[in-house]
Structure 1
Amino acid sequence: MKLAVVGGGSTYTPELIDGFARLRAELPLTEIALIDPDEQRLALVGGMARRMLARAGHPAAVSTWTDRAAGVAGAAAVLLQLRVGGQAARNVDETLPLDCGCVGQETTGAGGLAKALRTVPVVLEIAETVRAHAPDAWIVDFTNPVGIVTKALLDAGHRAIGLCNVAIGFQRRFAAHLGVAPASVELGHVGLNHLTWERSVKVDGQEVLPKLIEEQGEEIAADIGLPVWVLRELGMVPSYYLRYFYAHDQVVAEQRAKPSRAAEVKAVEDALLEIYADPASDTKPELLDKRGGAYYSEAAVALIASLIGDRGDTQVVNTRNGDTLPFLDPEAVIEVPATVGAHGATPLPVDPVQPLLRGLIAHVSAYETLALEAARHGGERRVRDALLANPLIGQADLAADLAGRLVAANRAYLPWAAR
């Protein structure tokens, strides 16, 4: 079975390779095609991938491609993990909003919109290449903002599912707290990508979330960057990304006082590429843990194995809402547990969502609809409308100011803005 990775020159890729090697029984790959326009990075990462597989005794071949069509041809699944504009564009996403008093983050708020504007057109071009050269392939999107990108793919009729590592991260964290196997932990995960809450945690069918909050609340709160009283009052665990909403002003102050995350990641990436260039390096470096994306490979393996093998198991994915959350449009993309098989993903029934969550989910989902319109069709007014609808912006003068700044800063990536 051939798997293609678009963005294969990413420093994330050895995390994927490590998972493919460890979990070969779940996903028997014969070829891993790494596709990237950066030949130098592709050579470094491709060499590292080959050495890692050889050390593990994995028989899969690693091929490297700058030609997307040749790289995806015949693939059973195509994994998207690209970053249009690289860390330089990310740095703008994380710093420009701060000048206006807004959170600077690459997937949420104004920075997330800028990333969507750059990313959606490129992803749709890639998806058309997949349709032409690997028409039966599943597209698994790990490229942020995952919810918006996945909706773009589904709206265009592609076989696509979005993937995030937040849920598997919580599952592993809770399992470690409880001293149980991760597979025995079932999450009541609900919301949108990077806007989710764990409303239930069950171990072998028994609810343990109240116990977790009582016994491990301080530690969990520290992990997600929120006060423990928030967890206790809600009776649930918000994802780390809720911090941008629940502690907005505190986050802005913190971000202004230190280098951007993009600057930190750039330094980590440079060090990782030096490791990958060493012909003696053949194991996933510990430094990769600082790059982010924990458990990404395991989530990807499980999802692709279920899509190809029609396993019918339950996984947390990004997929169409349908009637799962009745207060959202059926065409919206949500992040919930779903049954995954050859048909794709079917969301499991969800208990009624509390008004405190429902309002914010609906608000952000409406913003995502407008963000996708701006990404697909362009126009500064559409960008302004999306910012005005975003709860982290939501003021007319601020939205207008930010729209002009975002378009100017990203003009090189927005063909409609160059006219």
Structure 2
Amino acid sequence: MVFIKDVLVNGKSRFAELLDGVASGQLKASGVKNIFDLPFSEGLIRSLNLLPCSYLLYYFKQKEMLAIEMGEYYKGGARAQVVQKVEKQLFELYKNPELKVKPKELEQRGGAYYSDAACEVINAIYNDKQAEHYVNIPHHGHIDNIPADWAVEMTCTLGRDGATPHPRITHFDDKVMGLIHTIKGFEIAASNAALSGEFNDVLLALNLSPLVHSDRDAELLAREMILAHENWLPNFADCIAELKKAH
């Protein structure tokens, strides 16, 4: 979850003209491959006075994004199924030792440059590079208006002793704190559920998610997903046995 609050060019802020250009539609914000390109409304951008990243479409345009995702599902399956098909095609291509060009299928995969970033992080830690990277760490009070044990993605220097934070900001904008707390509350509850293996903990997490709009939907979703992924959820063995008995 990212909001851009400033853009510097040669040390000078150009954010006001960037925000005005994106809000008015004169400038197009760049997105990511795996999210449908849908512009945020001018009213939202101007009221926030921030530029949200494309992942936030799922929160600010839930109705529109759900309609798009359902259309994509009926055309070719859920996003994960599409990615599985693409990966199968890619691995078939990679079997060819004569392959010398980047396959077009790779453009459908998403996640560009993550492999480079991962290798650079490993290199920085193993070889004590003291290099600057953006990583997720407990911020330990560097941000003054969220709990100190929350993990935050921030600028850090990486070496063999770990990550030394160098945050660019120390206070999150109050206009988005409600959404931050809501999503973080869901993430913490989901993490607790993964550790406990308890159905009620899963149910709590789903009910806290801003993308689940009904307690009944949350319960149906929890039951269906736990049973569907039984082979990968050994921690939920007792829960799964109870669900099967009641099924």
The reply to whether residue 225 of structure 1 matches residue 38 of structure 2 is yes
Corresponding residue for 1:251? 65
CA change 1:301–1:273 in 2 (3 A) is closer
CA change 1:220–1:319 in 2 (3 A) is farther
Corresponding residue for 1:276? 94
* Uncovered stretches (5+) of structure 1, i.e. residues with no partner: 1-194
- 1:353 aligned partner, one-letter code: F
Displacement after TM superposition at 1:215 (Å): 4.2
Return the alpha-carbon distance in structure 2 between the equivalents of residues 286 and 373 of structure 1: 40
Q: Which structure has more RCO (C-alpha within 8 Å, separation ≥ 6)?
A: 1
CA change 1:327–1:366 in 2 (3 A) is farther
Corresponding residue for 1:362? 181
Would the aligned equivalents of 1:387 and 1:394 in 2 still touch at CA under 8 Å?
A: no
- 2:151 aligned partner, one-letter code: V
- Matched residues, number: 225
Return the alpha-carbon distance in structure 1 between the equivalents of residues 113 and 232 of structure 2: 31
Corresponding residue for 1:408? 227
Corresponding residue for 1:378? 197
Would the aligned equivalents of 1:200 and 1:207 in 2 still touch at CA under 8 Å?
A: yes
Corresponding residue for 2:215? 396
Q: Percent identity of the aligned residues?
A: 29
Q: Secondary structure at 2:154's aligned position in 1?
A: strand
* Uncovered stretches (5+) of structure 2, i.e. residues with no partner: 32-36, 242-247
Would the aligned equivalents of 2:48 and 2:175 in 1 still touch at CA under 8 Å?
A: no
Corresponding residue for 2:154? 336
Return the alpha-carbon distance in structure 1 between the equivalents of residues 184 and 144 of structure 2: 13
TM-score, length of structure 1 as denominator length: 0.49
Return the alpha-carbon distance in structure 2 between the equivalents of residues 400 and 288 of structure 1: 37
1:213-240 residue CA offsets vs partner (Å, 9 max, x unmatched): 3445635347363325133442322121
Would the aligned equivalents of 1:305 and 1:311 in 2 still touch at CA under 8 Å?
A: yes
Corresponding residue for 1:174? none
Would the aligned equivalents of 2:145 and 2:171 in 1 still touch at CA under 8 Å?
A: no
Corresponding residue for 2:34? none
The reply to whether residue 324 of structure 1 matches residue 138 of structure 2 is no
1:167-195 residue CA offsets vs partner (Å, 9 max, x unmatched): xxxxxxxxxxxxxxxxxxxxxxxxxxxx2
**Which of 206, 213, 217 is the matching residue for 2:19?**
213
Would the aligned equivalents of 1:313 and 1:341 in 2 still touch at CA under 8 Å?
A: yes
Q: Secondary structure at 2:148's aligned position in 1?
A: coil
Displacement after TM superposition at 1:340 (Å): 2.5
CA change 1:310–1:235 in 2 (3 A) is farther
Would the aligned equivalents of 1:317 and 1:337 in 2 still touch at CA under 8 Å?
A: yes
Corresponding residue for 2:244? none
Q: Secondary structure at 1:384's aligned position in 2?
A: helix
Return the alpha-carbon distance in structure 2 between the equivalents of residues 398 and 358 of structure 1: 26
TM-score, length of structure 2 as denominator length: 0.79
The reply to whether residue 267 of structure 1 matches residue 81 of structure 2 is no
Mapping of residues 132-147 of structure 1, within 5 Å:
none
- 1:314 aligned partner, one-letter code: E
The runs of 4+ residues in structure 1 deviating greater than 4 Å are none
Return the alpha-carbon distance in structure 2 between the equivalents of residues 304 and 258 of structure 1: 36
Displacement after TM superposition at 1:385 (Å): 0.9
Displacement after TM superposition at 1:374 (Å): 0.8
